[in-house]
A and B are shown apart, each in its own frame.
Chain A
Amino acid sequence: MIPAAFEYYRPKDMASVLSLLEEHGDDARVMAGGHSLIPMMKLRMADVPHLIDLQDIEGLSDIEIGADTIEIGAMVTQMDLISHEGLADAAPILRETALQIADPQVRYMGTMGGNVANGDPVNDMPGLMQCLDATMSVIGPDGARDILAREFYEAAYMTAREDDEVLTSVTIPRPKGGHAYEKQKRKIGDYATAAAAVQIVKENGVCTSASIAMTNLSDIPIHSPDAEAALVGTAVDDAAIKAAMQAMLGDIDPSEDNRGPVAFKNHVAGVILRRAIERAWSRA
């Protein structure tokens, strides 16, 4: 498996990245950890005449935990998320999710930016970012702009990021309440058969807010306000959870693959969602 020939660039600053993107247009791609892109290039399913490696760009690898928000640079790896000391307290769902992505070696290379920016529906972070109501920061020829994660994904591999823009960071409000990232997969290294990200706030035994999104059950991640609404104001009892499952079922649109047919995925989506809600609720 040998990729087609390409030109490689490793610019030192973002301005150079942007000018390379401008110069080569559709023929150029930026690369973070490369663990999605390089296999595709080796299989010659992705043709990238100009490859721009972001590893030398300053300022993309920081995790900043503020009073109200957490900003995670695009080049922060899954391993960084797992081993960061403050993050486990500030947003434990990030660690819980990162641990369920791929395997140790891939987590050392796989980045937040690479995971969210491609628009690959199999990736876990997009669903999580929607759950956490993240804001994606991108920079392009016309300057920087922010896009809500919940508005970022348009179709498989199609996002609100323009081809000449680069994702620089994601920012999330500090999550509140209990959390869970529940994922069913066939084995380590597999993508989700179904996965659910849930963040729930409990006050006096009642759910006051809920955030729910699911992964790999459509061509984009599925954030479900209806499922959230089904929980808010309830004691997250069986009826409420069933209502949330029902709402989610209306939002997802899985397709058959080697992991199983549609009926199975719809069923497992509900089961996984229930488990995520129950676990998050127990931690709330």
Chain B
Amino acid sequence: MSNKMHVKFTVNGKVEEFLAEPRELLIYTLRERLNITGPHIGCETSHCGACSVTIDGKSVKACTMFAVQADGADITTIEGIGGPDDLHPLQNAFKEHHGLQCGYCTPGMITRATKLLEENPNPTEEEIRFGMAGNICRCTGYQNIIKAIQHAAAEMNAAKEAAE
């Protein structure tokens, strides 16, 4: 056991402060300390992306980061992306286009996709495949995930145009 450290960061707009052992992985902080259970644990070696969150504008696998590293950071998980009253177009598109089955990869998948569409609002299929390659899905074969992201992108672009 080592000395506990003071950690303070923002998750989904809410400031969280706590004492944690340095070895506490961010994914456990989120899931077990803060009860933010959307991000999941799939591989634990940064291959599968089920734990993907956004930290200070970066897509990050929370299984490969210690909570202390995130001190001061701004974190977004699936829970902060949209809710029943402010559904994100990606959340809707995944449902409309059958982009999920068991649902285990879905929070990481959608979280990563929000960032992908920020990086590239109008991606080709190839760019989506490449940009989502850090997230493994065992159920869908990806085809409908890609379709969902394409449709969400179109919807978001149309909304943006309408607003301009």
Contact = CB atoms under 8 A, between A and B. Distances in A.
The short answer to whether A and B are in direct contact, CB under 8 Å, is yes
Interface of A: 1-8, 10, 34-35, 38-39, 41-43, 51, 53, 55, 79, 102-106, 108-109, 188-189
Contact of B45 (A6, A39, A103): A39
A38 B71 contact: no
B116 interface: yes
Contacts of A106: 46, 61, 134
18 contacts: A1-B44, A6-B2, A8-B68, A10-B68, A34-B69, A35-B46, A39-B45, A39-B64, A51-B22, A53-B68, A102-B134, A104-B112, A104-B132, A105-B112, A108-B60, A109-B60, A109-B61, A189-B47
A67 B45 CA distance: 41
Given A102-B134, A106-B61, A109-B60, 19 more contacts: A2-B25, A5-B1, A5-B23, A6-B2, A6-B22, A7-B2, A8-B2, A8-B5, A10-B71, A38-B65, A39-B45, A42-B45, A79-B58, A103-B134, A104-B132, A104-B134, A106-B134, A109-B58, A109-B61
6 nearest A-B pairs in the assembled complex, by CB-CB distance: A103-B134, A8-B22, A108-B58, A188-B133, A5-B2, A105-B134
Nearest to B67: A8
B131 interface: yes
A105 B69 contact: no
A105 B65 CA distance: 12
Contacts of B130: 104
B52 to A, nearest CB: 6
A105 B49 contact: yes
Given A5-B23, A34-B65, A53-B69, A105 B52 contact: yes
A42 B62 CA distance: 13
B35 interface: no
Interface of B: 1-3, 5, 21-23, 25, 44-47, 49, 52, 58-61, 64-66, 68-69, 71, 112, 116, 130-134
Nearest to A1: B44
A2 B66 CA distance: 11
A105 B45 CA distance: 12
Contact of B22 (A2, A7, A109): A7
A42 B23 CA distance: 9
Nearest to A79: B58
A97 to B, nearest CB: 15
Contacts of B21: 5
A38 B66 contact: yes
A96 B71 CA distance: 33
Contacts of B66: 8, 34, 38
Task: Tell which of A38, A51, A103 has the most Cβ of chain B within 10 Å.
Answer: A103
Contacts of A10: 68-69, 71
B53 to A, nearest CB: 9
Contacts of A2: 23, 25
A35 B133 CA distance: 17
A87 to B, nearest CB: 17
Contact of A105 (B3, B23, B59, B68): B59
Contacts of A4: 23
A1 B23 CA distance: 11
Contacts of B132: 104
A30 B49 CA distance: 25
Nearest to B59: A105
Contacts of B131: 104
A41 B66 CA distance: 11
Nearest to B48: A189
Contacts of A102: 134
